[in-house]
Structure 1
Amino acid sequence: MEVQPLQQGSMFDGEKDGRMVKIMPVNRIATKADLGEIVAGFDQKAFQRRQDENPRQPVEKILLVCMGHEPDLKAELELQAKPFKIDVEVVDILRDKSQLEFKRDAEAKLTIRDGDLVIENFYPMNLLQKLSLQQEQVGEWRELVDSVMVDWNYDGAVLQPAVVDVPGRDELVVGRYKVPADAGTIRVKITDLLSESWEGNIDG
């Protein structure tokens, strides 16, 4: 994993493929408490300038490198960056028989369309990696999902799902849900067939 070093004094440890790289603690799993240094080091003026110039684009792209991490680390950092939009990727480096293997976070694309919350796509990276090794073909993302939970008014702390979509045998999750009129910050939790979860927000 080749990372370009930055000048001294930067909060980040380097740059890779257009993302600012932060090496998290390597002797334990990274937790939400470890994000404080990153958030405190955000250049608010630069973020504001970038947002003014390109309102639809993230003001920063960040890559967190860890040896294990809490599952909602990405979502928490994106939440703490508000009102600015940042793009966070988390990579776990697992050492296995001297081989360096990347364990990647799942990704999902959410949108609001015609009054519905729509899960456009879901990429459970570790499950897809296993399936590709087994050379199994996947028709659509819903085949990879065990359950979907939706909280229409997420308080930023505890998920309180109003929608619990757990399909029966030989059925798939719906992937499209009517948004209630009083919806605020919508939190979605998608769990794949390996019981690994992705969580993310979208404004109602």
Structure 2
Amino acid sequence: MGSKEFILKHSLGVRIFHYILVVSFVPLAFTGIVLYFKPYDELTMNLYMRIHVILGIVLTLDAIAFFLVGFERVVTFVKRMFTFFGDDVRWFTILGGYPQKFLLRKKVPVPPMGKYNSGQKVFGICVVVGGTILIVTGWALWAFPHILPVGMVLLFGNLHMIFGWILSIFLLVHIFLGIYMFDDFKAMFLHGMIPYGEAEETAPKWVKTELVKIENHV
């Protein structure tokens, strides 16, 4: 296969899930930060809270729908995220070569990766674990604050805050690296496909074992 041909990396279902995730989580993170610092009057803060809750409902429905409709994909994704090899350890020792690229303008050999590199696996774990905790604690704090024990409310509040900050910070890094890897960025938001040459360079293990070719791509 030539380097100018394309392969499918992100299916339509995955892209739709990602669209809704972006539309809901980015403003969720923003409104969450506003609710944390409380810079406005009570009326405005109540408005932010209502917006936060509505966006939380959208995010929850998106997650549930994708879990039910794309259950096999979810299982595969989780398996990829939680599976680490020796190459992942070696990837972390050089942080995927990104510091060398950005700070030293130097390209260093990077251990061969699968569909997702080691950093993306860590981010994926944070999304799966942190996202689940945010949804569960968010619903509990909104719907049952007067039913739950005080200690549990405090615990849920702290967990919601901590994982909210973790995912918000990870989101900034994810956006930066997503734009840096622009072909993958376009694939996730547009057509789902990346050049074969790029895939062969960044994800050689995936190319060798799970390649999906897009025929007659123009």
Bin for the TM-score computed over the shorter chain = under 0.3
Structure number having the greater helix percentage:
2
Which of structures 1 and 2 has the larger relative contact order (alpha carbons within 8 angstroms, sep 6+)?
2
Q: Structure 1 length normalisation: TM-score?
A: 0.23
Structure number having the greater strand percentage:
1
Q: Structure 2 length normalisation: TM-score?
A: 0.22
Higher Rg of the two aligned structures: 2
